[in-house]
Amino acid sequence: MARRITLDFLKTEAASGAILAGAAAAAIIVANSPWAPHYFGFIEAPFTIQVGAFEETKSNLKWIKEGLMAIFFFVVGLEIKYEILRGELSNPRRLALPVLAALGGMLGPVAVYMAFNLGADGAPYGWPTPTATDIAFAVAALAVAGPRLPPSLRVFLLTLAIADDLGAVALIGALFTQGLNFLALGGALASLAVMALISRWKGAPHLFYALAFALVWAFTLKSGISTSLAGVAAAMTVPIDPPRPGQPGVLHHFMDSLHPYVAYLILPLFAFAAAGFSFQGLSLEALARPIPLGVALGLFAGKQVGVFGAAALAIGLKLARKPTGARWSEIYGVSLLCGIGFTMSLFIGGLAFEGDAGAQAEVRIGVVVGSLLSALAGVAVLRWSQSRRPETSPD
């Protein structure tokens, strides 16, 4: 069952990977065309959502990031829970591998970035910028790179990226949060408790879960904490067992129902809204400065060394086990894909250098170069490894 569910997810993402890449490319082209004012006008246009006492005004881009992407993290959380309880990660030694690799994948980029920014012309306070992995782009790159690779690799990458981004969210909360709304945070925790209680009611209508998740999301949005955490936390409350023998479980139902919308609508829309940036102010000469050099090499070199080094050390010391059926070359290819920081790194860099337009331009070129190198190298390694496999189905 675990293998079948994972393969279904891979088929969907393999089909949507080209759409996601095309949406990102279209955003960059439009952002540097005569239609650029319309593009930036659309993503920055304010939009108000009001339901009863709840009222919030944000730009379209922020609603996509903090609203629709919460559904993406909810689906990701569902899959992670399934794999931990019934699938690839049910073995604690296999769960340990992506968590330890994620830790190495955060320390490596920080070390590389600081090596270039401890001097007089550097900006050491920007060290969190290259620590995150863009889950959407990394998973899509894996789906496009190797449809015949073991499904366990996707679970490894997905779990690693989630742990990595949870660490990045923690950094955002610790370093860049101006203030928390503890009343709203309490409301979010209470709503999570309600979801947990609903899960104990075997015949609970699915609508109850949806309404409770909407409350968790709304309170989290007001609290000042990333709504990505709300999505993952809410997913952990959804029961995996079917209400009656022979029926699909609630978790399986939500996975099957929501995943096509996430893969074909939410992620491409997110890519189109978040990937567009202007080349104005960017140049190849600027790449040699401490900030872009530290960010680019932090993503490309620091990530692969940190992730692969931590994974190899954990496996060598018998603290963890390799993903089922995976080769070392494929683990290295996934380590390269973890260097696709893109939207998360752009977001964190914007916070670290808020108000400094010149530094933000340098961050953009560093993120783009580092992410592009990581994607190209990762896809090349994985395609090479796949070519050495027999022409058979992963089944």
pLDDT at 37 over 80: yes
- pLDDT for the residue numbered 10: 46
8 A C-beta contact, residue 185 and residue 233? no
In this predicted structure, what is the pLDDT of residue 177?
64
Containing 260, the helix (H) or strand (E) segment is helix 250-261
Helices 267-275 and 342-352, interaxial angle, to 10°?
40
For the segment 337-351, the average pLDDT, to the nearest whole number, is 85
Reported as a single tens digit per residue, the pLDDT across 41-94 is 998 899 888 888 788 888 888 898 888 988 988 988 888 888 788 776 677 777
Amino acid 5: pLDDT: 45
User: Going by C-beta distance under 8 Å and a sequence separation of 6 or more, which residues neighbour residue 69?
Assistant: 227, 228, 231, 266, 270
pLDDT at 339 over 90: yes
Mean pLDDT of the chain: 84
Count Cβ atoms within 10 A of the Cβ of residue 228 and give its class: 0-12 exposed, 13-18 middle, 19 or more buried.
Answer: buried
Residue 7 confidence (pLDDT) above 50: no
Instruction: Give 92's contacts (C-beta < 8 A, 6+ positions apart).
Output: none
Residue-level pLDDT at 259: 84
The predicted-structure confidence for 139-154, as pLDDT tens digits, reads as follows 878 877 876 788 888 8
Burial 19-47 (b: 16+ CB within 10 A, else e): bbbebbebbbebbeeeeeeebbebbeeee
Query: CA 18 to CA 23: how far, in whole Å?
Result: 8
User: Residue 4 above 60 pLDDT?
Assistant: no
Q: Is the pLDDT of residue 6 over 60?
A: no
Model pTM score: 0.78
2-387: CATH, from 1.20.1530.10, 1.20.1250.20, 3.20.20.140, 3.30.360.10: 1.20.1530.10
CA distance 300 to 307: 11
Neighbouring CB atoms inside 10 A of 144's CB total 20
* 358 has pLDDT over 90: no
Q: What tens digit of pLDDT does each residue of 92-114 get? A: 777 889 999 999 999 999 999 99
Closest CA to 140 of 31, 9, 43: 9
- The C-alpha atoms of residue 59 and residue 233 are separated, in whole angstroms, by 25
Quick check: 337 and 378 in contact, CB under 8 A? yes
Q: Are the C-beta atoms of residues 292 and 362 closer than 8 Å to each other?
A: yes
Distance CA 255, CA 221 (A): 23
How buried is 204 (Cβ within 10 angstroms: 0-12 exposed, 13-18 middle, 19+ buried)?
Answer: middle
**DSSP string covering 62-76, please?**
HHIIIIIHHHHHHHH
